[in-house]
A and B are shown apart, each in its own frame.
Chain A
Amino acid sequence: MYEHDVVVVGAGGAGLRAAIAAQEAGADVAMVSKLHPVRSHTGAAEGGINAALRDADSWQDHAYDTMKGSDYLGDAPAVEALCQESPEEVIRLEHWGMPFSREDDGRVSQRPFGGLSFPRTTYAGAETGHQMLHTMYEQVVKRGITVYDEWHVMDLAVTDEDDPAERTCHGVVAYDIQSGEISGFRAENGVILATGGMGQVFDHTTNAVANTGDGVAMAYRAGVPMEDMEFIQFHPTTLPSTGVLISEGVRGEGGILYNSEGERFMFEHGYANNDGELASRDVVSRAELTEVNEGRGIEDEYVHLDMRHLGEERILDRLENILHLAEDFEGADGLTEPMPVKPGQHYAMGGIETNEFGETVIDGLYAAGECACASVHGANRLGGNALPELIVFGKRAGRHAAGEEMGEAEIETGRSGDWQPADYEFGVEVGETGGSGTAAADGGAVVTDAESVLGGAVDRAQERVDELLSRKGRNHAEIRSAVQETMTGNVNVFREEGRLEETLGDLREAREAYKDVAVSDPSRTFNTDLIHTIETRNILDLAEALTMGALAREEFRGAHWRKEHQERKDQDWLKHTLISWNDGEPELWYKPVVLEGENKTYEPKSRSY
């Protein structure tokens, strides 16, 4: 067993920032990640970091834009924390040596991004995430923070009181990919989940193969509700054949979208008469697919993104990486021809329910970054708001977990305050398919001492691995692709009741099939077959929760579009969707959104760009 004060799971932007903050607050920190830190998908972020750095800008304007972008489903205390603290965190990155793009006077550059009232997106070419990831990993090396890389965290060690709000997290159980060893990691003060996105729930995604939402699924099964899972961002400019991201920075610098008839459809077809290509991402994605569906797509699949008019010099200076991506992954030369683009899964607005310090309802368990839902992004995330979330909330969670006094949270977690049960009947059975396998389903007397809780979790993980390796059964890959296919087919940009129900049925079948899953590689050395099989279980739980939330939310808000419900219904739906695992019988419930900020209340307005 390994022992530390704070254990951070995942080593992308949020995890690295959390580890640095916890260490600065005096804690002995360890990071546990299934990838080496520099392999994390933060490195693929391109566009930039929103921060109100300039005199003509203000955090209040940033907060207003973010709240509007969220379609009024962001919680004001989290949104305001993001906007207030992003500037100091960006400057801290600069002080750590991050190579930002520069203006003539030597200050860091900023550019316009979708949904922003001021050009406040700070960037390093079109490789901002890469530079940010490496800069923070450098600081982790400098500080000598312990990193257990290529250790896959399988489960949390959480006590099993009936009420999740009374449970405590004492650590994690991880599998050493290199050696096959399973070990407990005791966390004296807290565990911080920073496991990133869940794009592998879909099959056309900008996310990495490793983005299987492990942390969200683990927390869910341990009793933490998943929040607002139905809100998935589909990025309007991904390469059609691979899903590789073409940064919003292209449109920020002046790139134009055209349909097959050469029309600048964002204006000519009235999707966004003011902001055009720089409308919010959900708006642009729907516009593109509408063009394709109405016969004005190219090869009936995509539209064109043209940046040629920006000129070679400007493109090389600010968007060079885009030229490489378009060339290597689509065979298109962005200097001489328009690039083909279509919407692709990009980001999960929802995730592990937390307050503005990253605390979950389980004592000692935190979450930060894309896996968490504070909620900063509500129903739709603005471009350039993900990277500041990593550094602001990573830092907050790290400090809090290390024991720093941070005051009372405004956002409540768990079933407190004005929560309400959902009144929705799913036509299909959801949840566990017979047998247990949950983190806290031992029954009998409640075990509370840390060592026994961790020991029990290690034993269960060992049993599970031994069983998967020894039995005969089907390979996980076909189950995973069946899930991805139905999710991309039916729970995409446009959603309708019948097909969402159909998907729940497909997912039920996939769950049944998963009962017979087995790992055919018998090796204890670098057994990726085993790791992927475990991940596929996580994908199943997430896909189901996402679809349940989408089916029950009978309105059109932000990224969630419903055929039968063509308007935002503030009367009924200014509330967050929550889904509790409930030991295998998922339960849907709601809690109100917090629109009261520090000095003002954000009144929902109609959202046009």
Chain B
Amino acid sequence: MSTQIPKQTEESTETEAETQPASKGEERRAEKRRRAAERREQRQEEEAEKAAADESTVELKVFRYDPQVEGKQEPRFDTFHVPFTKGMTVLDALMYARDTYDSSLTFRHSCRQAVCGSDAMFVNGGQKLACKTQISDLEEPVRVEPLPHAEVTKDLVVDMEHFYEQMEAVEPYFQTDEYPDGELEEQRQDRANREKIKMSTRCIWCGACMSSCNIAAGDNEYLGPAAINKAYRFAMDEREGEEMKQKRLEIIEQEHGVWRCQTQFSCTEVCPKDIPLTEHIQELKREAVKNNLKFW
């Protein structure tokens, strides 16, 4: 997606018009530019040579399936050879393959910077965000599949509805009865409490954790790591107050809640935002126990 700015020498004359009038330094700078251009050309040549000498393409094996299109109704893998460039991510490679070889190659993507959470996939056997997975870190051929344990819509696109339903099952919104008096006054929150919930608020709803979880695979009603983490985010937020915390703990204690987790840490391992999901689940278990003891 990056570009070099073309016609550098022309542009440099433009900019001088703004910044300073023609001066004696002009010649010196022109000379500098000329040398810079030479260096640039030399470097480009070197790079081209290197690319030709090296293994210059990367081999992708990509899962293909379309319920409607003849020849794609039976899932298969297609192979694409994509020219490798430094810094290339799995998403870059997929986009290249789509725009160059097969425009029907389908995957979700948007921000390209690991915040929209659209492009979680199964890359060489692990849940990854395609946009922040460097090709150079992977063994070839790079095998790209849709997230396991979700229904495949087409190619690398899975149905996210179930994931969204679980997220929304934990009352994922802030609730309190005690606001400050002044309309323009914020609720106070100490830094330590903000720090406590910080990691949990980083979730981008990519679904990698849910896909990696054995329990979720076997129990469709299990809330799953992302939804429990969302519950944690509110349960630990002191701005909500004690009464709400009780309610939050009841939600996560339900039959398909925290007690299903067997602390296998797979969710924590795959989380692209490094959220300590298993720890959060464990902490909620402890809170729930403490809470139950209180009423005995």
Contacts and interface: CB of A to CB of B under 8 A. Distances in A.
Interface in A204-240: 204-205, 208-210, 240
Given A494-B11, A526-B106, A244 B112 contact: yes
Contacts of A494: 11, 14-15
A496 B14 CA distance: 8
Given A44-B115, A523-B66, A102 B189 contact: yes
Interface in A116-146: 125, 127, 130-131, 134-135, 138-139, 141-142
Contacts of A101: 194
Contacts of B179: 95
Contacts of A325: 113-114
Contacts of A178: 153
A525 B68 CA distance: 7
B69 A522 contact: yes
Interface in A511-548: 519-529
Given A102-B189, A520-B103, A521-B103, A138 B172 contact: yes
A604 interface: no
Given A88-B183, A99-B197, A295-B36, A204 B14 contact: no
Nearest to A296: B32
B53 interface: no
A99 B15 contact: no
A331 interface: yes
B15 A294 contact: yes
Interface stretch (B200-208, B262-270, B278-286): B200-208
A107 interface: yes
A408 interface: no
A43 B172 contact: no
A96 interface: yes
A556 B153 CA distance: 51
B209 to A, nearest CB: 15
A102 B66 contact: no
B40 interface: yes
A598 interface: no
Interface stretch (A31-39, A248-256, A392-400, A579-587): A31-39
B116 A44 contact: yes
A234 to B, nearest CB: 11
A566 interface: yes
A204 B66 contact: no
Given A293-B11, A300-B36, A97 B17 contact: no
Contacts of B35: 295
A294 B29 contact: yes
Interface string B173-185: 1100001000111
Q: Please indicate which of the listed interface residues A38, A40, A301 has the most CB atoms of chain B within 10 Å of its own CB.
A: A38
B173 A519 contact: no
A289 B113 contact: no
Contacts of B115: 43-44, 127, 130
A209 B109 contact: yes
B139 interface: no
A122 to B, nearest CB: 10
Interface string B107-142: 111111111111000000000000010000000000
Given A91-B185, A101-B194, A41 B111 contact: yes
A324 B117 CA distance: 15
B234 interface: yes
A203 B1 CA distance: 6
A522 B71 CA distance: 12
Interface range, A side: 35 or more
Interface string A376-415: 0000000000000000000000000000000000000000
B55 interface: no
Interface in B8-35: 8, 11-12, 14-19, 29, 32-33, 35
A127 B188 contact: no
B164 A529 contact: no
B45 interface: no
Contacts of A102: 189-191, 194
B198 interface: yes
A563 B188 contact: no
A329 B106 contact: no
B168 interface: yes
Contacts of B117: 38-39
Given A107-B186, A519-B103, A204 B3 contact: yes
- Top-8 shortest CB links A-B: A97-B174, A106-B188, A521-B104, A293-B12, A295-B32, A138-B173, A142-B173, A477-B99
30 contacts: A36-B160, A38-B204, A39-B118, A43-B204, A88-B183, A97-B234, A97-B240, A108-B186, A130-B115, A135-B174, A138-B173, A141-B172, A178-B153, A203-B3, A243-B112, A271-B19, A290-B15, A290-B18, A292-B8, A293-B14, A294-B12, A294-B29, A295-B32, A329-B132, A489-B3, A521-B69, A523-B154, A526-B153, A556-B18, A563-B14
Interface of A: 35-36, 38-41, 43-44, 53, 87-88, 91, 94-97, 99-108, 125, 127, 130-131, 134-135, 138-139, 141-142, 178, 203-205, 208-210, 240-245, 269, 271, 286, 289-290, 292-295, 300-301, 324-325, 328-331, 475, 477, 481, 485, 488-489, 492, 494, 496, 519-529, 556, 561, 563, 566
Given A139-B173, A205-B1, 12 more contacts: A36-B205, A43-B204, A97-B234, A100-B194, A102-B191, A105-B188, A106-B191, A127-B202, A300-B8, A523-B68, A527-B106, A528-B107
